[in-house]
């Protein structure tokens, strides 16, 4: 980091370098975030481990070790905020091209994490279910064994979900699912007419046991790419994407809270725009029936009537209501 960049970074976020002010700022954002609905499924592309290590003049393996510490912290933050499902992009199919020593270090980390998670009292107190998402057949046998054992130990838990995307490729997931559906159509256990979005879900890596749709994807390290991550689960779900500049080992609670806050602002804007659009349509089609409008908005957004009332109270919606009356 050159001196000019360091001074710029210090000037725009000077309060983050003073511990007492940083804690106050973090607490303020957390209070603001908890006043609104939090996403129920957050997915993270954990990018920047190698660049972080390079910046410090260390081997890539050290970056992955520091990144593993961040992973444990993020799990705690999800619990604090009430986020029920977290999916982490730990190892893509493209990562098999990396040097052997780096792959071995990553596989050793996976095994260590699996063993630690099984033995950790918090896993069982939280009723945390841990699952792998990807083509596990591509992994070394000892890694597959650790994953299988961890999945078996936590299989009965249903309060929080941690999905580890390992040997994962989004396009390959869709191809694998299509092949399975084609086989079932061929042998007569699935009819083409019965294929819906929920049926497709069952044939993908997530299966039908948890909510596969993702509300928010966070990418660390500053790159504005989704890298073939969860294309089916993010598409058609109004999924928000938040790019965070810090590398994964540097990712802080305040960065996580900012991502959640950005999601909430986007979600509120989306709901208000949809409410206004529905009001305009009803005005042009011959008048407004309030009960019908409320139930339609609740159905479209999959929210409660109390949340609908909060949207209706917004000044922009109130102005459109006055025109529609």
Give, in degrees to the nearest 5, the angle at Cα 290 between 284 and 293.
65
Given 2, 95, 201, 291, the catalytic residue: 95
Burial category of 101 from C-beta neighbours within 10 Å (exposed 0-12, middle 13-18, buried 19 and up):
exposed
Given 47, 49, 163, 201, the catalytic residue: 47
Q: Using DSSP bridges, classify how beta strands 85-92 and 216-219 pair: parallel, antiparallel or unpaired.
A: unpaired
Q: How many other β-carbons are positioned within 10 Å of the β-carbon of residue 117?
A: 21
Q: Catalytic: 47?
A: yes
Q: How many other β-carbons are positioned within 10 Å of the β-carbon of residue 133?
A: 24
**Catalytic site residues?**
47, 95
């Amino acid at each position: 980091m050159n001196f000019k960049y360091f001074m710029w970074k210090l000037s725009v976020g000077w309060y983050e370098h003073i511990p007492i002010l940083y804690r106050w700022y973090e607490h303020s954002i957390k209070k603001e975030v908890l006043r609104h609905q939090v996403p129920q499924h957050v997915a993270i592309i954990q990018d920047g481990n190698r660049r972080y290590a390079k910046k410090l003049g260390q081997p890539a393996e050290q970056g992955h070790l520091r990144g593993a510490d961040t992973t444990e912290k993020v799990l705690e933050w999800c619990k604090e905020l009430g986020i029920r499902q977290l999916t982490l992009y730990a190892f893509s199919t493209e990562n098999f091209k990396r040097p052997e020593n780096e792959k071995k270090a990553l596989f050793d980390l996976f095994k260590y994490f699996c063993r630690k998670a099984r033995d950790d009292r918090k896993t069982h107190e939280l009723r945390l279910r841990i699952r792998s998402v990807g083509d596990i057949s591509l992994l070394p046998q000892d890694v597959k064994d650790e994953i299988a054992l961890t999945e078996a130990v936590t299989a009965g838990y249903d309060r929080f979900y941690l999905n580890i995307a390992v040997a994962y490729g989004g396009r390959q997931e869709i191809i694998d699912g299509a092949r399975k559906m084609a086989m079932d159509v061929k042998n007569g256990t699935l009819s083409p007419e019965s294929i819906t979005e929920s049926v497709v879900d069952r044939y993908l890596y997530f299966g039908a046991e948890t909510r596969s749709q993702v509300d928010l994807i966070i990418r660390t390290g500053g790159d504005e790419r989704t890298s073939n991550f969860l294309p089916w689960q993010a598409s058609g779900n109004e999924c928000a994407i938040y790019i965070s500049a810090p590398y994964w080992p540097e990712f802080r609670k305040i960065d996580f809270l900012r991502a959640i806050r950005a999601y909430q602002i986007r979600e509120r804007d989306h709901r208000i725009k949809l409410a206004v659009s529905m009001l305009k349509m009803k005005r042009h089609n011959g008048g407004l029936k309030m009960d019908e409008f409320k139930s339609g908005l609740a159905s479209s957004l999959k929210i409660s009537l109390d949340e609908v009332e909060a949207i209706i109270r917004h000044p922009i919606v109130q102005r459109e209501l006055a025109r529609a009356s």
